[in-house]
A = this chain, B = another copy of it.
Amino acid sequence: MKLHEYQAKQVLSQYGIPVPEGHIAANQQEALEAARIRGGKSILKAQILSGGRGKAGGIIATDCPEEAGHAAARLLGNSLVTGQSGPQGLPVNLVLIEEQVIPDRELYLGLLVEPSRKRIVFMASARGGMDIEELAGTHPDEIVSVAVDPLTGLLPYQARVLARALGLSGQLAVQSARIMRALYRLFVEKDCSLIEINPMVVTEDRGLIALDAKVSIDDNALYRQPEIAALADISQEDPLEQRAAQAGFSYVKLDGSIGCLVNGAGLAMATMDLVTLLGGRPANFLDVGGAADELRIRQAIELLLDDRDVKVAWINIFGGILRCDVVAKALLRVLEDRHPAIPIVVRLQGTNDAKARDMLNSGPMTVMLETELGRAGRLAVAASGMTGKKRGAAS
């Protein structure tokens, strides 16, 4: 789960990490008032859960409160399309109005969990302000990483290594050590999966300030982070993804036309890969999960049918715990209720597959049964080509 910038800064602030002074506004009036607190210049930042806001016009420097009010009015209520937001963009419901901070230098400080080291790792670079992936490409030697032992936490000597990487000495090094200890504590106590402060700026009069901040939380730990979980902003999610999340599916909307319903993440990815390899385009990733029962399978099928981009549905189930006949029963029920117009390719293997096939063979003609994975994939792709044209012509 990602936090908005303003939420991330609130959390940082709770841990004693300096952030710019700022207020959040949901409409022009609030923005105007917030900017008046600032007095003259301020910075407006659209609160969407995506990077690349600057280039997309989501960050605006203003010279007076009135200008801030107007800029807020332009941003609020509209969608902002960034390089990372997807083509529909994301709705701007809040803007953050902050003081303008004049940086001497821009630094990078990030914390993440590195799978190969199995530790929380600090990444630091004196070249802040640019994307870390980009920095890793152009200046890999200027990123220093330090893995933290969970037994000891960040050690003083490690904080010194990081401060040197950031080019800090004296009081600034002492302040950075304090900030890094606080960040580590925050990361652990709030079950973060990522904290990125980019840029962390050095100011002449106020030392280090976290000018921008990204915080992501480990979804598996939200059960013990009720305060964080309450910060979730579902307006930033695709409606189908919201629905899938509520039903407990792993679902990712993609831009193709073949809706895939699969049990298991690996098989679901392999199904997408096969579709793509055969020249089709998957409309989604959908893993119904190990604990799926008839109701959940029905909900998943309906999710596919409700996606207007889906021209063919492919149900690809390898029955283990989940029995194939349960899937067949769910499908028959949906077919009966909704009489879907799109073709449905069904591939059932494993527990009770013969029984399931018998059930479906006596069902409606829109279901194409195939037991072998490759042939089922070719059926789905072929059907998407046909129906894509047919439906396209009809619309």
Contact = CB atoms under 8 A, between A and B. Distances in A.
A365 interface: no
Nearest to A150: B151
Interface residues of A, number: 2
A151 B119 CA distance: 13
Contacts of A151: 150-151
Interface in A133-161: 150-151
Say how many copies of this protein the assembly contains.
2
A151 B151 CA distance: 5
Nearest to A149: B151
A124 to B, nearest CB: 25
Interface string A251-278: 0000000000000000000000000000
A151 B149 CA distance: 9
A64 B151 CA distance: 53
Contacts of A150: 151
A345 B151 CA distance: 52
Interface string A380-392: 0000000000000
Interface in A151-183: 151
A75 to B, nearest CB: 46
A150 B153 CA distance: 12
A314 to B, nearest CB: 44
A377 to B, nearest CB: 47
A208 B150 CA distance: 33
A61 B151 CA distance: 47
A244 B95 CA distance: 65
Interface in A22-47: none
A150 B151 CA distance: 7
A310 to B, nearest CB: 46
2 contacts: A150-B151, A151-B151
